[in-house]
Amino acid sequence: MQHERAQRGEEVDDVPQPVIAAPWVRRESTISLTQVLLGANVAVFVAMILASGSVEFPGQIMVHFGANSGPYTITGEWWRLLTYMFLHSGLLHILFNMWCLWDLGRLSESLYGRWTFGAIYVTTGLAGGLASIGWNVQVLSVGASGAIFGLAGALIASFYLGEFSLPRIAISGTLRSLVIFAVFNLFLGGFFGGGGIDNACHIGGLVSGLILGALIARTAAQPEHAARRVVIFLLAALLLAGCAAGLAHHYGLPLRLGPSPLER
């Protein structure tokens, strides 16, 4: 607008040109939430090494640390839907997931802002955990990949719907990379499904991320729409609670919170 005024002769030639930060850049602190999440995952992994004396963990160690084990989760220990996101079954598992979290987490946090990024991460991780035990109640699920797929889904929806004021060439390249990431990893999960890859968790995270990303892009795209974003995540939390109650009912169990009877 200032440049156009200058072309019309309404501005003097030496008028100061303000440099405005890009709207998707948030300057909140030197330590990002992505770094905090990565550090928490690594800290838990180190604790598991100290407890087991190995970098590849047996099932009982993972259950002890809070793995999403269907029989324990649906009989009262619903907190496992949160803790499983910070556990990993071995060295290669955590290395790959932390690499993906570092890339997708930094991008998501810079575009959405810290609290929205954190809410997407947790919400889609919970959705992935529910999808996992809904598909196979006997599964033992660990890892940040459900939440990572959720970030990918939210970014795909937001880029596709044009939420971010980025150059079209940057959006198309990033969108293409995200779609390839999701499709390739889902294909690997389907092809090697018997090798400990929990594709139900990945799909649950991806689909919930697509939905959240689309809702944010269409109804709460701007940072000043914080109240609308809060409403979106509250509705998502109610929907997840309803899914948990539905799972318990499906398996003929009352919805309860507390130590699982299997612990006794």
List, in order, residues 6 or more apart from 38 with CB less than 8 Å away: 98, 101, 102, 105
Give residue-wise pLDDT tens across range 212-228: 999 999 898 887 889 99
The three-state (H, E, C) secondary structure of 97-158, written as one string: HHHHHHHHHHHHHHHHCHHHHHHHHHHHHHHHHHHHHHHCCCCEECCCHHHHHHHHHHHHHH
Residue, of 82 and 162, whose pLDDT is higher = 82
Binning pLDDT at 50, 70 and 90, where does residue 172 land? low
DSSP assignment letter at 253: -
Q: What is the mean pLDDT of residues 68-78?
A: 91
The type of residue at 174 is: T
Instruction: State the average pLDDT over residues 110-134.
Output: 94
Residue whose token pair is 């990303």: 213
Which pLDDT belongs to residue 136? 87
Q: What are phi and psi of 108, to 5 degrees?
A: -65, -40
* Calpha distance 246→164 (Å, rounded): 36
Average pLDDT, the chain: 84
Residue of 54 and 261 predicted with greater confidence:
54
pLDDT of residue 255: 77
Q: Where are the domains of the chain?
A: 32-253
Say what angle helices 199-219 and 114-135 make with each other, to 10 degrees: 140
Rounded Cα distance, 133 and 141, in Å: 8
pLDDT of residue 29: 58
User: Does residue 124 surpass a pLDDT of 90?
Assistant: yes
Say what the pLDDT of residue 190 is.
Answer: 58
pLDDT of residue 213: 93
Maximum separation of any 2 CA atoms in the chain, in Å: 83
How far is the C-alpha of 77 from the C-alpha of 59, rounded, in Å? Answer: 17
Which residues are catalytic, by number?
Answer: 145, 202
pLDDT band at 192 (very low <50, low <70, confident <90, very high): low
Q: Using 50, 70 and 90 to split pLDDT, how confident is the model at 84?
A: very high
Q: Is the pLDDT of residue 178 over 90?
A: no
Q: 32-253 belongs to which CATH class?
A: mainly alpha
Asked if residue 131 has pLDDT above 90, the reply is yes
Flag whether pLDDT at 191 surpasses 70.
Answer: no
Exposure on the CB side of residue 79, measured as CA atoms within 13 A:
9
